Structure formats: structure tokens, C-alpha cells
Amino acid sequence: MREDGRDLWSAYRMRWKRRRLIWRSVRSRHDLESVVDRTDRIDPDHVLAFSTARNEYTRLPHFLTHYRTLGVGHFLFVLNNSDDASEGFLADQPDVSLWRTHDSYKASRFGVDWTTWLQFRFGNRHWCLTVDVDELLVYPHSDTRTLSDLTARLAQTNATAMGALMLDMYPKGPLDQATYTPGQDPTEILQYFDAAPYRAQRQFPAQNLWVQGGPRDRAFFADHPARAPTLNKLPLVHWNRRFAYLNSTHSALPPRLNHAWDGPACISGDDRLSGALLHTKFLPDVVTRSREEKMRQEHFGQPEDFDAYYDWLSSAPDLWHDQSVAYQGWRPLMEMGLISNGGWA
């Protein structure tokens, strides 16, 4: 009986937390200034993509190409204190609606309040893809089947969301040695990833998954594994106005959404349909961006605790080692148990 009471109390707390998050996201609409609004072009069957960005002009051309190829119907972007060519570039794209803000990224829950408001306003009953500009989604058959095919399969299995492993991609050699050209596929430079080890556990009361591992865990956080980056995400959700992301796209409310995925099959045995987000953070500009982000202190709850991490990235480390695996598409990822097809032949 006592345990049932604790469960009811946790459910009550999470319900009110979700309502507070939705309410603060609705209030955050006042932070946003419309640059160009083409949301009248959104069709009921469109898969929508949501993203917050700052000075990502070099990544944007390939990002749009990648997701257009997958079948995104409309992109909704928030630019936060961006002073490069991103705004003009995005404003010219016929399938993009764009907002700008000069408010604090950290105070907006790292942009989640802004995208949650846009999802509340435009994403209800749509499949919504929420990704950073340095994340490229791949999934079983993503070279031949669109997001519409994927979401139809998810709906067929009564899935509300699809999980994905954030797979850190990196080059061989120091991070600042290559040259990247806007429009180029980042995986031509960032050719490698860590196939293992990864670890997962559940956290309460939100019942969210916590997956860690990969090259940053191995190369920098080995002595403090609890501080290593969280690698599980729920980037694709059949959105409802009652939903809210809790911590980036790592977790969501209501808690049942967090049970859409138990982590990579190689560690959890979960063979439900899942994907990977190829994380292209480690392009050559990561060195200068890390120095800048250390000064801005807009990332992480206690940014001063990560000064050494930014210093490490600023030194252009070599993340490659003799167990690094070359990326060759989604099929090897499935064979390694990093993504699963859920019986989708």
C-alpha cells in the first residue's frame, strides 16, 4: 500500500510538473520575434522538424538537405543571438518558418521552452522531429524509406515516440585538422564512432532512460562517468499539446513517453524500432566554439563545472583509437545492436 501511495504521489508530481513546463513554454512566446512565417503551408500529414540554433550557417545547408531527403514537410527554427549568415539563409528557404530571440538560452531551458511553444502551437497531432543542427537522424531503411514510411510503421505498432542513440562522430587525428565546406556531408570528415561500451539505467520519478558511453566518456569523463553526456533521445514524437520535453529531448512528460525505448539492443535487448542521431559536434569549428561557449556560460546547469571540458575540446584532442569503427550506413549499426528495426523488414 505504501508503495502504491508513492507511485500515486510521483504521478501527481509529474503531472503538475508537465503542466508547469507547458505553461512556461506558452509564456516564452513573448521571447520570440517572427522573421518569416510560412506555417500556413503546413499540411496535416507533414512531418515537422523543430530546432533552435546559434551561428550554425556552415551546417545548415546539409542539415536541410538531409532532412528534406528524409521527407520533412516543414521546418520551424528559432535563432538565438545568431550573428552569422543563418538568418538570411533560412529566411530564403520556402519550407522554413523562422523566429529570432535575444533572450537567454539557459533561462529557456536550453531552448526547450521555445520549441515546446512552437510544438504546442503548430505540432499538435503531427509527428514532430526535434533535433539540433548537429544531429543527423538515421534509422533502418533510411536510405530508401521516408519519415512518412517510418511514422506509418510506428503508428502500426501503436508507438507514440521513437528512441535514438546520439552517436558521437569524430575524425582520425586532431579535431581542428580537417577543412569543412558548407553543404558537405559532415560524415565525410567525421568518419568514426565508438561501437561500445554503452550503459543504461532508469531514473525516477520521471522514469526516463539514461544512456552514457562513447568517445567523450572514454577520453575525458573516465574518472567521472556520472558527468558524461547523456546519449539517449526521443527525437520523433506524435505530438499532443499535453506533452512536454523535460530535459532537451533526452526525456519527456508524461512519463509513459520515456518507455518508448529501453536503450540500444546491445545493452537492453530492446528490439523495438529505433534510430541513431549522428552527432556532428566535432567538426573543426568545435575548437573555437568551445572557447566561446566557455565564456558565454549558456550551457549546463553549473557551467563552471565544465570549464575543464571546454579547455580539453579547445586543445583539439584526437578521439580516434584502435577500437574506433568507420561509419558505413545504418545496416552495420543494426548489426551492432545500436539501432533496431522492430521487425520492419
Q: Which helix (H) or strand (E) holds 163?
A: strand 161-168
Q: Is residue 124 part of a domain?
A: yes
Q: Is residue 342 part of a domain?
A: no
Band the pLDDT of 297: cuts 50, 70, 90: low
Q: Is the pLDDT of residue 20 over 70?
A: yes
Q: What does the pLDDT look like over 32-70, one tens digit per residue?
A: 999 999 999 999 999 999 999 999 999 999 999 999 999
Over pLDDT 90: what percentage of the chain?
90
User: What mean pLDDT comes out for the span 223-244?
Assistant: 96
Q: How many domains does the chain have?
A: 1
Closest CA to 208 of 161, 175, 275, 241: 161
At residue 305, the pLDDT reads: 67
At residue 1, the pLDDT reads: 34
Q: Is residue 344 part of a domain?
A: no
Whole-number mean pLDDT of the chain?
95
Confirm whether pTM is higher than 0.85: yes
Q: Is residue 308 part of a domain?
A: yes
Q: Is residue 220 part of a domain?
A: yes
At residue 322, the pLDDT reads: 97
Q: Which domain holds residue 98?
A: 2-335
Q: Is residue 341 part of a domain?
A: no
Helices (H), ranges, the chain: 2-27, 60-70, 86-91, 112-118, 147-156, 214-219, 265-268, 286-296, 307-314, 330-335
Q: Is residue 345 part of a domain?
A: no
Alpha-carbon span 27 to 121, nearest angstrom: 12
Band the pLDDT of 2: cuts 50, 70, 90: very low
Q: Is residue 227 part of a domain?
A: yes
